[in-house]
A and B are shown apart, each in its own frame.
Chain A
Amino acid sequence: EAGVAQSPRYKIIEKRQSVAFWCNPISGHATLYWYQQILGQGPKLLIQFQNNGVVDDSQLPKDRFSAERLKGVDSTLKIQPAKLEDSAVYLCASSLAVGNTIYFGEGSWLTVV
């Protein structure tokens, strides 16, 4: 069974530029999560989707971050404009349903210079 796929794996951008990350969850998983993991910290939930609807985006900095899951499968996370403090690993994860085991992708590593 294929795991959660993310791209790109690595991205370096200058501050004030924009970046987009893509995620393809495990087939059949209705719940999709985006986490931000800053070096030395645990993952912080940015947004949670149930199919194509948002369940929780309370910790998403909406002035610069946006995410969508239009057809209830793939998802994109966008940052515009990026700040230095956005340097982190962006982890996508999915689960069959809320409360089920969460499977993580390998992450997209962002460095903002």
Chain B
Amino acid sequence: TQLLEQSPQFLSIQEGENLTVYCNSSSVFSSLQWYRQEPGEGPVLLVTVVTGGEVKKLKRLTFQFGDARKDSSLHITAAQPGDTGLYLCAGARGNNDMRFGAGTRLTVKP
């Protein structure tokens, strides 16, 4: 059983569509990170959220941390083929304990 459940597991959409992916847990996290991983590469950090209810924007990407710091969402507006990849969330419980979800594999078709 994963500590962090990500949904959906797979998502295939057309260019220009909007989408939201979710990261849920029953545990409280001190911070939560979102990464994107492209084939053949390691994960690259997109954002870190630390405060309950926090919203961060990165161009067309909007990240939200739940009020109770147990869940998070990533919303992409007007998706582009370059957004294709594996989106991973990772929750930190204290400094020495960070766990990853299984990821959402996004494909954006031109």
Contacts and interface: CB of A to CB of B under 8 A. Distances in A.
Interface of A: 4, 35, 40-45, 48, 55-56, 91, 93, 98-99, 101-107
Contact of A45 (B95, B98, B102): B98
Given A42-B102, A44-B100, A99 B95 contact: yes
Given A98-B95, A101-B48, A42 B42 contact: no
How many interface residues does chain B have, given as a range? Answer: 20 to 34
B99 interface: yes
Interface of B: 2, 4, 6, 40-45, 48, 88, 90, 92, 95-103
**Dominant secondary structure of chain A at its interface with chain B:** loop
A56 B42 contact: no
B65 to A, nearest CB: 17
Nearest to B31: A99
Given A91-B42, A106-B40, A107-B42, A42 B100 contact: yes
